Amino acid sequence: MAGATNNSREQILYLLKTRGPQSAQFIAAELGISPVGARQHLKQLASDGLLERFDRAEKVGRPSSYWQLTEKAQGRFPDRHGDLTLGLIDNVRQVFGEEGLDALIAARERESLADYRRALAGCANLDERVARLAQQRSREGYMAEVVRDAAERWLLVENHCPICAAARSCRGFCRSELAIFRQCLKGARVERCEYLLEGARRCAYRITAADD
């Protein structure tokens, strides 16, 4: 029974990570459990310092209660050894300056681009390439998925950033990733439309076929 309880709580954390703040009713429906059971899990996670509750005004009626992850909960997801990465970035800056750091990012970009091109080899069309790119990013810890927006464009969504600490210290990593996507999806327009470092809860990229 304890295993099932822990599994439900892990599912709640994953759901809030990938879908953002949600109500207890939504969480109960998604997990297939009772609202009472969902609230018990939520209260325990809050007691553990992993969740916090807030009220959101609705169009009609009283404000509704929503739950979101705390900073402590964010730390449960992989961060690619953030402290070590930050130390290495600082060392490169001190020894080689910003030009040396730019050279390091460029080398990483070339290596990553080669890996992604191998992963996307054999894709017949843009739809397959976007899906394969999301799979590759998920393997690297980005919790990526592809959705379609109202205009029938692709939206590459990354619900987690395993190099967030490095990106905050040097946004060249983010510029490099966008450049890689554009080269991997040559012939399409790729624009970042949500950005974690500018206050969004995730990063997302809108992808449009060139002839649209």
Domain boundary among 37, 54, 74: 74
In angstroms, the CA 6 to CA 53 distance is: 20
Flag whether pLDDT at 1 surpasses 50.
Answer: no
Which CATH number does the domain housing residue 46 bear? Answer: 1.10.10.10
Q: Is 161 in a helix, a strand, or coil?
A: coil
Tally the domains of the chain: 2
Tokens of 182: 């554009």
pLDDT at 4: 61
User: Rounded mean pLDDT of 16-30?
Assistant: 91
- CA 164, 168, 173, 175 torsion-angle sign: positive
Domain boundary among 74, 96, 124: 74
Same domain assignment for residues 99 and 197: yes
User: Over the stretch 39-71, which tens digit does the pLDDT of each residue have?
Assistant: 999 999 999 999 999 988 777 777 889 999 888
Same domain assignment for residues 98 and 200: yes
In angstroms, the CA 68 to CA 165 distance is: 21
Q: How high is the mean pLDDT of the chain?
A: 88
Parent domain of 175:
82-209
Same domain assignment for residues 59 and 93: no
Give whichever of 60-69, 95-104, 126-135 has the largest mean pLDDT: 126-135
Same domain assignment for residues 62 and 128: no
User: Rounded mean pLDDT of 32-38?
Assistant: 92
